[in-house]
Amino acid sequence: MSGAADVDCDVLVVGSGAGGSVAARELAAAGREVTVLEEGPRVSTEDLAAAAPAESMRRLYRNGGATAILGTPPIAYGEACVVGGTTVVNGGLLWQPSAALLDRWATLSGYGGYRDDVVGAHFARVRKRLGMIVQEHGDGNADSRLLAQAAASLGWRWQHPQRVVRGCRHRNQCATGCPSGAKQSMALSYLPDAEALGAVIEPGVRVERILHDGGGTALGVAATGPDGRPVRYRARTVFVAAGPVGTPTLLRRSGIHRRAAGRRLALHLNLRTVARFPRAVDATRGTMFTAQVQEHSALGVLVMPSNVTPGGLGAALAGRDPGQVAALLAARAHLGMFTTQVRVQGTARISAVLGGSPLLRHGLTGADHDLMRLAFRRTARLLFAAGAVELLPPTSSAPPLRSEADAAEYCARVRPGDWEPVSVHGMASCPMALPERGGVVDDRGRPHGFTNLHLCDASVLPGAPGISPQGTIMSYAHEIVARHLEST
């Protein structure tokens, strides 16, 4: 990188999302001089309030929100590229990983230090710092009330969601950035704290490579600055939290664990079902959702409403017959949209890095297809119990379903390539596990063989938790930093 400007730092943090922000704040609190490099822009609550949804999608999301994971079916994967990372566009849900899950991961990974006593204590800290609340129904959210009543009538388990919001105004725009500043994204919580403790955040800086001596010592990073010029940051310690796709991409571009990094990206898939009710549900009124059905969580399946916005509804109906779309839009006050989240076993992989960008492919399995069919049938039962008279399944070419028998027939006929899934939860692309168990990082988040390079984001989770992951990611990041501080 000839002609690159040189900057000297103490600790570098790459990426300012769920993992990177925790690292920045905790390291700064321990007196370290921290510089955070973030590819995306800094966006204020006022900017979010003033922007139209399409503008926010382009500005806040990587690839405008539609990174393709190729395969059968193709998966639209969404993640942010902004100061605060994907927490700026997420729903603010915060769930604690169960002791059973952490025990399973400990057995799987060969590392016993991230069990409930440790992770639970960090989760309690995160919950307190972000001000977690239980989101009750309140005004609106008729779709959530119907879902909760249906679950109760079937004897199924459901819960109000736990969210990190302070005074949610029910503006229903979580996924394009909270316009009221209620959602406690990293941009409004850990990052301002980190700055108050002396950390410096540099937006618009894309890290291209991690510089290292080939013998396990990181020297810093090579980056492109906001003006497009190369910059080289030298550092004593480097924390990488570029997200579940960005982190393995960076490792591969830097010649670090090129074969193992990004080989197995675990995913939760979302299947979207539009339901028509005989009475108006006004699903645009209310916050994101206020009931999650957890009856099938042991299978990795959760069902919840998804906040209806005019644009989201339009996108959900876009592939359908024009006459059908016109009729549905005329009845839009009667429509709700519901998400079935499925933890699949098949994983995606970075099959190449082309011009700096990853090419992603997945290998969903027959068992995943069966689980998606089962998950959809349970969703259909729930929605008919909620009073829905018509369901549009997550296949644009499928006809509307008017009974459980129709849903069973749809499930019998649907082929793997017919599903139209999206994913907003990627994890475990550089898992924390012993090398002989396929691990990329050790129990301090260091790529095996490295001394002063740590990963601390979704990529290090040993697997897919089956719950919204940010609470688990932040708790892991806390422990990775705590272990680093103990040892230095």
Residues that bind ligand FAD (CB under 6 A): 14-20, 37-40, 78-82, 85-87, 89-93, 175, 206-207, 241-244, 246, 250, 424-425, 457-458, 468-471, 473
Residues in the chain: 488
- Beta carbons of 460 and 431 less than 8 angstroms apart: yes
Closer to ligand FAD by CB, 22 or 383: give it.
22
Helical axes 366-385 vs 142-154, angle rounded to 10°? 100
Of residues 69, 62, 75, the one with CA closest to residue 17: 62
Distance of closest approach, residue 83 Cβ to ligand FAD, in angstroms = 7
Distance of closest approach, residue 400 Cβ to ligand FAD, in angstroms = 27
Start-end of H helices in 187-261: 190-196, 243-253
Place of tokens 């019998």: 412
Distance of closest approach, residue 460 Cβ to ligand FAD, in angstroms = 9
Active site residue 425: yes
* Whole-angstrom distance, CA of residue 104 vs CA of residue 182: 35
* Whole-angstrom distance, CA of residue 132 vs CA of residue 407: 37
282-310 residues labelled b (16+ CB within 10 A) or e (exposed): bbbbbbbbbbbbbbbbeebbbbbbbbbbe
* Whole-angstrom distance, CA of residue 299 vs CA of residue 464: 12
Tell me, what DSSP letter sits at residue 89? T
Residue nearest to ligand FAD (CB): 17
Of residues 306, 298, 372, the one with CA closest to residue 147: 306
Closer to ligand FAD by CB, 198 or 226: give it.
226
* Whole-angstrom distance, CA of residue 122 vs CA of residue 130: 12
Tell me, what DSSP letter sits at residue 399? P
Distance of closest approach, residue 303 Cβ to ligand FAD, in angstroms = 15
Closer to ligand FAD by CB, 189 or 468: give it.
468
* Whole-angstrom distance, CA of residue 18 vs CA of residue 16: 7
State the CB neighbour count (10 A cutoff) for residue 135.
24
- Beta carbons of 307 and 287 less than 8 angstroms apart: yes
Torsion of CA 423, 429, 431, 436, to 10 degrees: 130
Closer to ligand FAD by CB, 354 or 412: give it.
354
Place of tokens 């960005």: 246
Closer to ligand FAD by CB, 190 or 410: give it.
190
Distance of closest approach, residue 274 Cβ to ligand FAD, in angstroms = 18
Closer to ligand FAD by CB, 372 or 428: give it.
428
Tell me, what DSSP letter sits at residue 451? S
- Beta carbons of 419 and 372 less than 8 angstroms apart: yes
- Residue 255's φ and ψ, nearest 5 degrees, are 70, 30
389-405 residues labelled b (16+ CB within 10 A) or e (exposed): ebbbbbbeebebbeeee
Distance of closest approach, residue 309 Cβ to ligand FAD, in angstroms = 12
Q: Which of 425, 454, 478, 484 is catalytic?
A: 425
- Beta carbons of 106 and 97 less than 8 angstroms apart: no
Closer to ligand FAD by CB, 13 or 375: give it.
13
* Whole-angstrom distance, CA of residue 192 vs CA of residue 457: 19
- Beta carbons of 174 and 89 less than 8 angstroms apart: yes
* Whole-angstrom distance, CA of residue 24 vs CA of residue 37: 10
Distance of closest approach, residue 463 Cβ to ligand FAD, in angstroms = 14
Closer to ligand FAD by CB, 411 or 430: give it.
430
Sign of the CA dihedral running 395, 399, 404, 409: negative
- The tokens describing 284, both together, are 């645009």
Distance of closest approach, residue 32 Cβ to ligand FAD, in angstroms = 19
Closer to ligand FAD by CB, 63 or 72: give it.
63
Distance of closest approach, residue 486 Cβ to ligand FAD, in angstroms = 22
The residues annotated with a catalytic role in the active site are: 425
